[in-house]
Every structure is written in C-alpha cells, then in structure tokens.
Amino acid sequence: MKHLSIDRLHTQFAAGTTHTFPLIGRMYTLTHSDATGDLYLAIGRSFATTRLNAMRDEVLGEWKQAGQHLASFIYVFVGSKQMGKEENIRRKQVFEQELTLALEAIRYGDRHFFRHFPSCDGSPILVHFTSEYPELNRTETYGIPYMYR
C-alpha cells in the first residue's frame, strides 16, 4: 500500500474558498499525473471539472449533511456497461487499492480545515463506487478522516 509523499501533493483553493470556508458544500477534486506520480487537489465550491480526463480516474468528494450529522461523501467512477464488466471490476479493485492514498491526500491537503473543524475528523467517510453494474454500484464506509492523518 502506498502512503502519501507530501512533496508530491499540490493543493489549490478555488476563488471564494479558504482554509475554513465553506463547510457545507466544500468539494474536492483529486487527480494525478501518471508520468510524475504527483497528486493535484483542488478545493472549492464545485468540482474542478476542467481537471478531469477521459480515463475518469479522479476522486471527488464533498461535505454534506447526512441526517443530523456531517459526512464526507467520496465518488469514484468505476465504469459503464460499454467498458465491460471485467473492466469495471478491475477499476473498482484499483480504486480500492488507491483509496487510502487518496484519502490521506485529501486529509493532508485540507489539514487546516480539520484543525478549524475538529469534529469533521470524526465524521464518516462514505465512498460511492459508480457503475452501471448494480453489484458494483455501491456505497461503502471508509472510516473517518482522522484515520488518514
């Protein structure tokens, strides 16, 4: 399992976003470079769609209300039926292997936010694997942000 190399993480805050604002509606777009291994985290009020590529191997996240509490919702695109079931299964396995690194990157890249809102460190992380195959289209709990510091 890979661990975060902080010198390879590049964090950018979109206009209107600070280390502590907003809380509800705070969105993350995590992409990477296959060539360099660098990770790019954009934090804003919307997903950084200009950073997405045809492979759709990004990790998206946002803070939302889940009943009475806040939760971190993470989204990954496993695939479509057009890609085939085996490719969907392979992509889900890759995401599962890399999610620890991705969650470490988000937690570290937004560490000042977590210092300002320590209760968020104990909020659940819900990862939704998006697939057109019902058995792969599911939401799983991945602990709390504190686990990825």
Q: Regarding the domain delimited by 6-148, which CATH topology (the fold level of the hierarchy) does it fall under?
A: Severin (3.40.20)
Ordered by start, the domain boundaries in the chain are: 6-148
Q: Tokens 């804003």 — which residue? A: 44
User: Strand pairing partners for 73?
Assistant: 62, 126
Per-residue pLDDT reduced to its tens digit, 3-38:
899 999 999 999 999 999 999 999 999 999 989 999
pTM equals 0.94
Q: Residue 137 pLDDT > 80, yes or no? A: yes
CA dist 36 to 33, 50, 103, Å?
6, 19, 19
Q: State whether residue 121 is helix, strand or coil.
A: helix
CA R_g for the chain = 15
